[in-house]
Chain A
Amino acid sequence: AQSVTQLGSHVSVSEGALVLLRCNYSSSVPPYLFWYVQYPNQGLQLLLKYTSAATLVKGINGFEAEFKKSETSFHLTKPSAHMSDAAEYFCAVSEDYQLIWGAGTKLIIKP
Chain B
Amino acid sequence: DTGVSQNPRHKITKRGQNVTFRCDPISEHNRLYWYRQTLGQGPEFLTYFQNEAQLEKSRLLSDRFSAERPKGSFSTLEIQRTEQGDSAMYLCASSLTGRTDTQYFGPGTRLTVL
Contacts and interface: CB of A to CB of B under 8 A. Distances in A.
A49 B55 CA distance: 25
A97 to B, nearest CB: 5
**Interface range on chain B: under 10, 10 to 19, 20 to 34, or 35 or more?**
20 to 34
Interface string B81-114: 0000000000101000001101111111000000
Interface stretch (A13-21, A40-48, A66-74, A77-85): A40-48
Interface in B40-74: 40-45, 48, 55-56
Contact of B106 (A34, A43, A100): A43
Contacts of A51: 100
B42 A104 contact: yes
Interface residues of A, number: 25
B21 interface: no
Given A43-B108, A44-B91, A99 B103 contact: yes
Contacts of B33: 97-98
Interface of B: 4, 31, 33, 40-45, 48, 55-56, 91, 93, 99-100, 102-108
